[in-house]
Amino acid sequence: MVVVDFWAVWCMPCKVIAPYIDDLAKVYAGKAVFAKLDADPNPVTMREYGIMGVPTLLFFKNGKLVDTIVGAVAKSNIESKLKKYL
């Protein structure tokens, strides 16, 4: 399982969920990989995945996109999605 966090330096909601992502990365180490991708220098990747805003979390299982979360959500929402695919 891989979770990619599309974020931007200027994005306040991104800053809200950043500690959640950091915590979940520690809790699920060895079970899930968390990656961060700065949206501003990566417009091609943003278009490729149809991302219109940040924060956006993409959940990949076996190399395939299986789910998405857009916007700042509770840590429990992120963890629930993660558990669904582990």
Q: Catalytic annotation on 46? A: no
What is the mean predicted confidence (pLDDT) over 23-33?
98
Active-site choice (3, 4, 11, 58) = 11
Strand order in the sheet with 56-61: 33-38, 2-7, 56-61, 64-70
Q: Catalytic annotation on 28? A: no
Rg from Cα positions in the chain: 12
Q: Is the pTM of this model over 0.85?
A: yes
Helices (H) and strands (E) in the chain, counts: 3, 4
Confidence category of residue 2, pLDDT binned at 50, 70, 90:
very high
Active-site choice (3, 4, 14, 21) = 14
Q: Which domains does the chain have, with CATH numbers?
A: 2-85 (3.40.30.10)
